[in-house]
Amino acid sequence: MTEELDPETWRQRLLDFREELQAIERDGGNSTGTVELDQQRMGRLSRMDALQGQQMAQASARRRQEMLTRIEGALRRIETGDFGYCFVCGEDIGAERLRVDPTVTRCIDCVNA
């Protein structure tokens, strides 16, 4: 692993990011509940907007869950000493690449292969 990749620094960064995502989930960041289709209460276009908003909120929730899973994987790799190494070739993942997304599992060469 590159000298610049202090495991404790990365662990704290990942834990902070995980906490941010979990806070959004706890606060109900987006309304993913059932859209009420009562025609007496809202017009057709308003219902369409509400359905679209619901779909966008559900997609955001799925992306948050996927990122939480990736964060957990990165934290496990830190624990086992595998953080910063490519799953495919075993070489170092570039520090700049990890700064952009510390959950990546492949070096740039293997991603482009």
| Contact call for residues 79 and 100 (beta carbons, < 8 A) | no
pLDDT at 37: 53
Which contiguous run of DSSP H or E holds residue 29? none
Q: Which residues, 6+ apart, have CB-to-CB distance to 29 below 8 Å?
A: 60
The pTM assigned to this predicted structure is 0.75
Cβ neighbours of residue 113 closer than 8 Å, sequence gap 6 or more: 88
74: phi then psi, degrees, rounded to nearest 5:
-65, -40
The pLDDT confidence band at residue 47, using thresholds 50, 70 and 90, is confident
